[in-house]
Amino acid sequence: MKDTPLSSGYRGYVITFSTDPQRAEHQMHAVIFYLVTFGYIDGDFDAQEKSFVKEIIHQLIQHRATDAMPDAAKEVRDDVIKKYTHHFHEVFEGIDQNVKDLFTESVSEGEDPKAFVHLKLKVRCFEIFKMFDHAGQEQLMALIDHLLLADGVAHPAEVQFRGELAHLLEEDLGIDVVEDDGDTARSVVVDSPRDSLPSTIDHPFFKPFEFHFSADPETITRQVGADLALIDRALAVLAEQRKKGAGRLTGKKNVAELAGTEPFLDGHTYVRMPKPGEKFELIVLGDLHGCYSILKATVLQSKFFEKVDAYRKDPTKPYPLLVLLGDYIDRGLFSINGVLRTAMQLFVTAPDHVIMLRGNHEYYVEVNGTMYGGVKPAEAINTLKPLLPIDVFRHYKNLFEEMPNTFLFDRFFFVHGGIPRDRIVKERWKDLSSLNDPDIRFQMMWSDPSTADVIPADLQDQAARFAFGRMQFRAFMQRVGSHTMVRGHEKVLTGFVPSYDDDEHARLFTLFSAGGANNADLPAESTYREVSPMALTISGEGGGGSGGVHMSPWAPDWASYNDPERNAFFKVAPEIPQRK
């Protein structure tokens, strides 16, 4: 770092902090996370280690205050030390709880949740190291070495973790950056989030689909039969779209070469390039996870049906498009029979106006005649598996595997997770048709952005769910020719966050649409209740237009659709309890 150093220490160990108060606060948070992480690596962050961390926090603040306030009266300095020690002890408790929450995150089938958490912690620790200059990194490593013996013994897992971090810091992190093509990035304005007003509207479109699965064998067989027929209709629409668009990405190096083309689906990639002056309005939803009230509220409050009708009557009106980023199932109470069923009905009813992408939860695996959810826990399949034959889930598996993964719209890139690993891009990328490579598609359902510039390839390879860095993201976006990515996958408490927003040629936004503190779509114990779910409207016109493109995040009024008068799911209790 280039700041004038301000040093703090613990029993001879010195940490260099920024003189900028806001950056120093972030650095202190990072150090605390680092220490908490190391406490968990041996599997038991015990009371002695927690006391040790709290003592480190106190000593760091004491040294900072002494260095920063050498002429202050002792009682003034002591008051500052007391105040900030209390503050950062609260930060410590919060970070400790955040790490515990990682053990509830989704992991792929066959993946050890503990190994997944350790990888997430390793990535975060790597990010923390990159916040410091070389001298600061050495100081942190010395602090780690001291922490290793805090409980009287250096646990082998802790020693291994320390060694892996040291190796990652020494790894060559070179990135192949493609030169900008000289194209000027579109002006994209991000509006402040807004709430929607309470809603009393309903629509007959939804009524036929708002029913629970029955516990009666004959009734559920009939219900599921209708759903399988709906799947067949959706598959037929996708097949027809693919037939018309087959091979159209081959040889195209970036999206600039797609300008002026008619909309198409090539393999698992949708493309729509608006013509200059053509107005559009995209309504985007991230992960829904069985939150049917949020899907219904978004469709109705955005007036999606009315806008489709208006466009069909007058094509000079803005072209409306509902973009769903995947993860329709699991977690919430209305996944297969609520969100997924309705999303398919929307798609088959207006296939030119609905984009239905695949998420990592839309992933089933058959092993020795038994079907499993590819993500743990997999509530949707686990709830129904005791009641239905495997052929039903084979049908869903086929649907999931046929779902598109990516959507290229103008210079926007829509996907569930993020970018593929560096290694596979270097080995297999040829042109935009590479987006249809099965492994690349799979990886793009699972990745998450990191605050680091680069995540080493060895670290990316250690789990299905992996991280990528800011420079890696910029290189990928330059390769594709897109400027803005909108993705879901990651639970963000505010529902919408700019993950990378300081580079007009490589902006990344995360949208999460499941949640609500009192949302009856979710089990009472769900951690998604911490989330303020958001939808996103993207409006503008092809060619950029004089006003550019606006991204407007907004909060659907899901509470109005927890009302049985507007949602028949709440008129009677479910007959089949959810199983994890």
The radius of gyration of the chain from alpha carbons, rounded to an integer in Å, stands at: 25
Between CA 270 and CA 473 the distance in angstroms is 21
Residue 176 lies in a domain: no
Residue 502 shares a structural domain with residue 549: yes
Residue 192 shares a structural domain with residue 133: no
Residue 116 shares a structural domain with residue 211: no
- Contact by Cβ (8 Å): 163, 148: no
Q: Comparing C-alpha atoms, which of 536, 205, 242 is closest to residue 346?
A: 205
Residue 42 lies in a domain: yes
Q: Comparing C-alpha atoms, which of 242, 230, 245, 236 is closest to residue 343?
A: 230
Residue 219 shares a structural domain with residue 325: yes
pLDDT at 405: 98
Burial class of residue 386 in the structure, from the number of CB atoms within 10 Å of its CB (0-12 exposed, 13-18 middle, 19+ buried): exposed
**Structural domain harbouring 405:** 188-570
Q: Which residue stretches of the chain have pLDDT < 50?
A: 1-13
pLDDT at 554: 98
pLDDT at 1: 28
pLDDT at 363: 95
Sign of CA dihedral 514, 517, 521, 527: positive
Residue 370 shares a structural domain with residue 483: yes
pLDDT at 358: 98
Which of the listed residues 137, 170, 203 is the one where a domain comes to its end? 170
Residue 576 lies in a domain: no
Which of the listed residues 170, 202, 225 is the one where a domain comes to its end? 170
Between CA 87 and CA 399 the distance in angstroms is 50
Which residue's structure tokens are 């920063």? 68
Residue 516 shares a structural domain with residue 556: yes
pLDDT at 153: 62
Between CA 159 and CA 137 the distance in angstroms is 17
Residue 485 lies in a domain: yes
Q: Comparing C-alpha atoms, which of 287, 199, 326 is closest to residue 531?
A: 287
Residue 122 shares a structural domain with residue 206: no
- Taking the CA atoms of residue 100, residue 104, residue 106 and residue 112 in that order, the dihedral angle to the nearest 10 degrees is 70
Residue 578 lies in a domain: no
pLDDT at 9: 45
- Number of helices (H), then strands (E), in the chain: 16, 22
Q: Comparing C-alpha atoms, which of 330, 338, 383 is closest to residue 528?
A: 330
Residue 115 shares a structural domain with residue 198: no
Number of domains in the chain: 2
Residues in CB range of 433: below 8 A, 6 or more apart: 247, 249, 250, 251, 252, 266, 267
Residue 181 lies in a domain: no
Q: What is the 3-state secondary structure (H, E, C) of 280-349?
A: EEEEEECECCCCHHHHHHHHHHCCHHHHHHHHHHCCCCCEEEEEECCCCCCCCCCHHHHHHHHHHHHHHH
Between CA 120 and CA 463 the distance in angstroms is 10
Give the CA distances from residue 189 to residues 193, 327, 344, 357, 507, in Å, rounded to whole numbers and listed in that order: 12, 27, 31, 25, 12
Q: Within 10 Å of residue 480's Cβ, how many Cβ atoms? A: 23
Residue 580 lies in a domain: no
Residue 545 shares a structural domain with residue 397: yes
Residue 534 shares a structural domain with residue 425: yes
pLDDT at 151: 55
What is the CA angle 328-333-335, rounded to 5? Answer: 25
Residue 180 lies in a domain: no
Residue 243 shares a structural domain with residue 138: no
- Contact by Cβ (8 Å): 65, 75: no
Residue 253 shares a structural domain with residue 146: no
Give the CA distances from residue 137 to residues 83, 127, 157, 169, 340, in Å, rounded to whole numbers and listed in that order: 28, 11, 21, 9, 48
Burial class of residue 471 in the structure, from the number of CB atoms within 10 Å of its CB (0-12 exposed, 13-18 middle, 19+ buried): middle
Between CA 291 and CA 3 the distance in angstroms is 47
Bridge partners of 14?
9
Which of the listed residues 170, 196, 226 is the one where a domain comes to its end? 170
Q: The domain spanning residue 496 has which CATH number?
A: 3.60.21.10
